[in-house]
Amino acid sequence: MIKHSSPFASGAVQRSVHRGSILHFPKRTNAPESHYQYFSDGVMVIENGRIQHLGEAHAFFQHPDNQQLLNYGGVEMHKGLLIPGMIDSHVHFPQIEMIASYGSQLLEWLNTYTFPTETQFANEAYAKAQAAFFLDQLMAHGTTTASVFATVHSQSVDAFFSAAETLDARMICGKVMMDRFCPAELQDTPEQSYRDSKALIERWHHRGRAMYAITPRFAPTSTPEQLAKAGQLANEHPDTFIQTHLSENLGEVAWVRELYPESQDYLSVYQAHDLVRDRALFGHAIHLDAREYQALAASGASISFCPSSNLFLGSGLFDYQRAKTEGIPVAIASDVGAGTSLSLFANQADAYKVCQLQNTPLNPFESLYLCTQGAAAAMGIDHLVGNLNPGSEADFIELDLMASPMLQQRLLRCKTLREQLFAIITLSDERIIERTYVCGKAVYHKHANKKFEHKKQGSQLCGHNSMNGLRYSSNGFM
């Protein structure tokens, strides 16, 4: 039962009721196929940006007070499937304009495309325009939370967080730290990167839904002195995130060995500077040795699996099964400029191919888990987002299961939820996103062809938790 005087009364609690097929993973698990929650006809109630109730529509509307919502049109009916907003654990927002750049592997690609692009963000107006465009695209692709690399310029972080704040979106971002092996206009110094990052932490971390990530780009572009400053920041601000790159490319791994000959391996460079801990997000991690797997597992750090990027740049095949066996949290990520799409559905399809090439096919439930609850768990934010549990922040998306004739036809042949989910993952891109909701408010609608404009209301978030039993229905999503 939902207690209220009138859902439409002036000055009443901000409430919305959504009815449709609903799928999510309510808790951390190593077996998502056995621990999902699905309602073929479900209802989700949102109050002040948080989910207040999730359950069966039939039981909910049996209560007279709730029945009145139907009588007065107080229920938003969804033809598609409702799932949590997607979470991209590793993405470079300045690279959105250089996506699909031809012909280079990692190190040449950085010098040819990435660094020249990032120099433009010294212009504040340019940074603001690109941040707004990038966030619009995230919402259109169904991604409501991301861990984002900005550039070396502080204004790029300000531009990103300011744009995210207008949407009230939960976002993580950080200023890139680089003091060598990049163009002079992109270099800072250890002390400057420390001062700039500290000021950004004080300005943005936990302001609304913003969270800060200490962001040394990767070991080759930081001197030991700068990595020490990054570690100092991490120790001074233990609830911040850390994001960087690890063992993406064999040439990169060899270069790190030359630059840090005293280090046992690539990961030990970061360990020596207090940068390997929980809330540390390591992009790629393709070419790890046994010690590195064990050290990551013991630290509580996580890996961002970037399948589209790894295939596109020819970096290698991430061993997801090995990481899972070692107990390392993993999330699927787009990486963007080195990848081919912001769509985490397209990236899930590539993740399946990467795993299939290693004879370890990725289960579709597990795949979706790695972009929602699993990603949130890997980042330590699953008490906030990644699921549709009562008490969680109301970030969710509606999937259009008629997004393409091919998908429509394939779903007609599916007999189980597993088959349906695999078809959706394999055949989908941004066209499947019907609507995107942030804190319960629509910020993107496909057929409106633009984001919804709304004034930021602030996060008046309530906080109770409950859990419904798991349910499976073979009737499908519709």
Write down the pLDDT at residue 449.
Answer: 57
pLDDT confidence band for 467 (50 / 70 / 90): very low
Domain containing 288 — which CATH number?
A: 3.20.20.140
Cβ pair 391, 50 in contact under 8 A: yes
3-state secondary structure of 433: strand
Write down the pLDDT at residue 72.
Answer: 66
Backbone CA torsion sign across 313, 316, 320, 325: negative
- Residue 454, pLDDT > 90, answer no
Write down the pLDDT at residue 12.
Answer: 60
Cβ burial of 14 (10 Å; 0-12, 13-18, 19+) is middle
Q: What is the 3-class SS of 204-269, one letter each residue?
A: HCCCCCEEEEEEECCHHHCCHHHHHHHHHHHHHCCCCEEEEEECCCHHHHHHHHHHCCCCCCHHHH
Which pLDDT tens digit goes with each residue over 137-184?
999 999 999 999 999 999 999 999 999 999 999 999 999 999 999 999
Tokens of 328: 């390392």
Give yes or no: residues 282 and 361 share one domain: yes
Determine, yes or no, domain membership for 150: yes
pLDDT confidence band for 404 (50 / 70 / 90): very high
Write down the pLDDT at residue 224.
Answer: 98
In which region does residue 83 sit, left (phi positive, over 0), alpha (psi from -120 to 50) or beta (all else)? beta
Give yes or no: residues 139 and 170 share one domain: yes
Cβ pair 120, 175 in contact under 8 A: no
Cβ pair 237, 205 in contact under 8 A: yes
Segment among 68-77, 179-188, 352-361, 447-456 with least mean pLDDT: 447-456
Mean pLDDT of the chain: 91
Instruction: Give the total number of structural domains in the chain.
Output: 2
Give yes or no: residues 267 and 412 share one domain: no
Give yes or no: residues 371 and 394 share one domain: no
Distance CA 354, CA 361 (A): 8
Mean pLDDT score, 423-445 = 97
Determine, yes or no, domain membership for 471: no
Determine, yes or no, domain membership for 443: yes
Give yes or no: residues 257 and 340 share one domain: yes
Give yes or no: residues 177 and 219 share one domain: yes
3-state secondary structure of 49: coil
pLDDT confidence band for 71 (50 / 70 / 90): low
Write down the pLDDT at residue 471.
Answer: 35
Q: Percentage of the chain with pLDDT > 90?
A: 84
- Residue 293, pLDDT > 70, answer yes
Which of 379, 404, 438 is a domain's end point? Answer: 379
Give yes or no: residues 91 and 81 share one domain: no
Which pLDDT tens digit goes with each residue over 88-143?
999 999 999 989 888 777 788 888 989 999 999 999 999 999 999 999 999 999 99
What phi and psi, each to the nearest 5 degrees, are found at residue 305? Answer: -85, 115
- Residue 463, pLDDT > 50, answer no
Give yes or no: residues 130 and 145 share one domain: yes
Which pLDDT tens digit goes with each residue over 222-244?
999 999 999 999 999 999 999 99
What phi and psi, each to the nearest 5 degrees, are found at residue 323? Answer: -60, -40
Torsion of CA 377, 378, 379, 383, to 10 degrees: 10
- Residue 438, pLDDT > 80, answer yes
Higher-scoring residue by pLDDT: 109, 349: 349
Contacts of 45 (CB under 8 A, 6+ apart): 2, 15, 16, 17, 18, 51, 52, 53, 54
Which pLDDT tens digit goes with each residue over 248-289?
999 999 999 999 999 999 999 999 999 999 999 999 999 999
Distance CA 69, CA 67 (A): 5
Cβ pair 216, 222 in contact under 8 A: yes
Write down the pLDDT at residue 431.
Answer: 96
- Residue 78, pLDDT > 90, answer yes
Global pTM?
A: 0.91
Which residues on adjacent β-strands are paired with residue 181?
none
- Residue 472, pLDDT > 70, answer no
The DSSP secondary structure of 65-102, one letter per residue, reads HHHHHHHTT--EEEEEEEEEPEEEEEEEGGGGGG-S--
Give yes or no: residues 211 and 278 share one domain: yes
Write down the pLDDT at residue 222.
Answer: 98
Give yes or no: residues 297 and 413 share one domain: no
Which residues on adjacent β-strands are paired with residue 21?
81
Cβ pair 213, 147 in contact under 8 A: yes
Return the closest-CA partner of residue 43 out of 74, 8, 87.
74
- Residue 45, pLDDT > 50, answer yes
Mean pLDDT score, 334-350 = 95
Give yes or no: residues 363 and 413 share one domain: no
Q: What one-letter code names the amino acid at 175?
A: K
Q: How many CA atoms lie within 13 A of 177 on its CB side?
A: 33
Write down the pLDDT at residue 281.
Answer: 99
Contacts of 110 (CB under 8 A, 6+ apart): none
Cβ pair 270, 276 in contact under 8 A: yes
pLDDT confidence band for 469 (50 / 70 / 90): very low
Give yes or no: residues 195 and 322 share one domain: yes
Print the domain residue range for 178. 86-379
Q: What one-letter code names the amino acid at 81?
A: L
